[in-house]
Structure formats: structure tokens, C-alpha cells
């Protein structure tokens, strides 16, 4: 079966309470990571892209992830589980009959 990479974003609404003179200062405080979170709400996951890849491409991605660059670039670090190798691939089981 082919492999597919699905890129998704997990979104949260994070709330802070900041005591300051102006709303702009409150926003700046949060932007500078100076305030503690008051609460957090999961807004769900959104699919960005889905593309077919080969096992060779998967192994290249995995090697890149070991080096801290999951997308193959040296611009943004990414974390994951490269030591799991192909065990991390989820296999859809089409053999289970869900009808009764």
C-alpha cells in the first residue's frame, strides 16, 4: 500500500489575565512569554495537506528528524520519534468488517 504524509495543525485557545495600564501592554506581555496561562481550550485539529510518499522518502524524513529537522530543512527544529522507524506508521486495517 502507498504511504501518505498528512500535515495537520492542533489548535488551542489560550487565555491569560494581565494587570497593566493598556491592552497593548497586555498583548506585548503575552507575546514576550512573560504571563502564565490562565486556561486553555482545545479547538481541534485541522488537516493542511495530504501527499503520497515512498518508503525511501519516509526513511529520509525519519533520518532528518533524528537530526532535528523533520521537514528536511535546517530552518526550524522539529521533534518526534525517529527511533521507532517504520513502527510509527499507522496501517489502516481494511479487513475488519464493521457490518453486523
Please give the average per-residue pLDDT across 82-89, as a whole number: 81
- Note the pLDDT of residue 84: 81
pLDDT tens readout for residues 18-61 = 999 999 999 999 999 999 999 999 999 999 999 999 999 988 88
Which of 7-11, 61-65, 67-71, 80-84 reaches the highest mean pLDDT? 7-11
- Note the pLDDT of residue 38: 97
- Note the pLDDT of residue 86: 83
> b or e along 12-48 (b: 16 or more beta carbons within 10 Å of the residue's beta carbon)?
eeeeeeeeeeeeeebeeeeeeeebeeeeeeeeeeeee
Q: How far apart are the first and last CA of the chain?
A: 27
Amino acid at each position: 500500500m502507498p504511504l501518505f504524509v498528512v500535515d495537520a495543525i492542533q489548535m488551542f485557545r489560550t487565555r491569560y489575565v494581565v494587570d497593566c495600564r493598556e491592552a497593548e501592554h497586555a498583548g506585548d506581555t503575552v507575546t514576550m512569554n512573560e504571563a502564565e496561562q490562565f486556561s486553555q481550550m482545545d479547538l481541534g485539529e485541522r488537516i493542511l495537506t495530504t501527499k503520497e510518499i515512498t518508503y525511501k522518502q519516509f526513511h529520509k524524513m525519519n533520518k532528518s528528524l533524528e537530526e532535528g529537522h523533520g521537514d528536511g530543512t535546517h530552518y526550524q527544529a522539529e521533534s518526534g520519534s525517529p527511533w521507532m522507524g517504520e513502527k510509527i506508521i499507522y496501517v489502516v486495517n481494511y479487513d475488519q468488517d464493521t457490518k453486523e
